[in-house]
Structure 1
């Protein structure tokens, strides 16, 4: 694991099929390339997450999510574009763009545009969305700092992560709201 790599180092790790940790709006996240099945599998194994649950994709802007939004009508696209007071993850009908490990057993894919400057910069430098799932082992509390990341995932020869991109959390006190784009139903507030 590279200690506090630059943004370029974190992007290089993502492009090489690595798994990274980075701060998000409320908690630390684990990420990888959502189009790399090997990286996705590795992330789920180290997190001990049930693959049926799926993961969230986070992006710098809606344009980066365009391939996942194909087939949506204008009203639904407008709902995605409306500003929100809190980070919102949208469950969008899967149009066949996502790998099965991204959506899990669901017929929707979870998408979020992040207003966290470091997350947005990471996605821009990577050139598209990345996986964003809480940095923890399944059932355990989410990491809230780089030090907690290192305590959970290692700080030596046998590290499980390829990079830890250190920075501040985004100032929100809880993870994103999850809302179904089609029904409007809130699944996590």
Structure 2
């Protein structure tokens, strides 16, 4: 895993895109602070930039660097959720502008997967995480199901967990400052 983290970091730091196993499905990723890299992800997925992407962070400390105000409920959800849960927060800072939704929100998940956690921690910046498929096509359940266009379109393919059958995408919820919780995807 150490060599894969090294190779992946090199790609991310140079503005490249990656195909990598996450705590949910195989994902496409890049440095979430690099607008050009984010643009490459949108182009590869053939996805409109108006459809926001998810970011992954290594821990709550990194989350707190992006958002000045985090609803108290978020900490409980992060600590006690059994399944990977992505939370949409308001008013991010330090993130590529083309990654932030039109309503000035950003979907972020604190990862539990060890590879992702170490990678993001060593990069010291959040990374993009979106399913490894062309928009409007099914999300692949395994590495073998990933389209050749995706495989050849990224700058680096992580060589870990290729035998893994992926679980469902994360649950997505939106938390407002008032404490209102809205489930976007179960």
Q: Same fold (TM over 0.5)?
A: yes
What's the CA shift for 1:83? 1.8
Q: Does 1:174 align with 2:161?
A: no
CA contact (8 A) 1:71 1:95 kept: no
Q: Which residue of 2 aligns with 1:69?
A: 67
CA deviation vs aligned residue, 1:55-114 (integer Å, no higher than 9, x gap) = 1110121112222221335x2453454320110000001244433311232331101011
**The one of 40, 47, 51 aligned to 2:38:** 40
TM-score calculated relative to the size of structure 1: 0.85
CA distance in 2, matches of 1:129, 1:96: 12
Asked if the contact 1:30/1:133 (under 8 Å) is kept, the reply is yes
The correspondence of residues 18-33 of structure 1 with structure 2, limited to 5 A, is 18-33=16-31
Question: Please, what is the CA RMSD of the aligned residues?
Answer: 2.1
User: Counterpart in 1 of 2:156?
Assistant: 163
Per the alignment, residue 10 of structure 1 pairs with 8
Distance 1:188 1:147, change over 3 A: same
SS in 2 for 1:132: strand
Number of aligned residues? 180
**Residues 39 and 175 of structure 1: is their aligned pair in 2 closer, same or farther, counting only changes over 3 Å?**
same
- Corresponding residue to 2:79 among 59, 77, 82: 82
Choose which of 42, 53, 56 in structure 2 pairs with 1:55. Answer: 53
Higher RCO (CA 8 Å, separation ≥ 6 residues): 1
Structure 2 residue aligned with 1:184, among 164, 181, 185?
A: 181
What's the TM-score once normalised by structure 2's chain length? 0.86
Tell me which residue corresponds to 1:107. 104
Question: 1:102-131 deviations in whole A, cap 9, x for unaligned?
Answer: 123233110101111211122122222100
Consecutive unaligned residues of structure 2, counting only runs of 5 or more, are: none
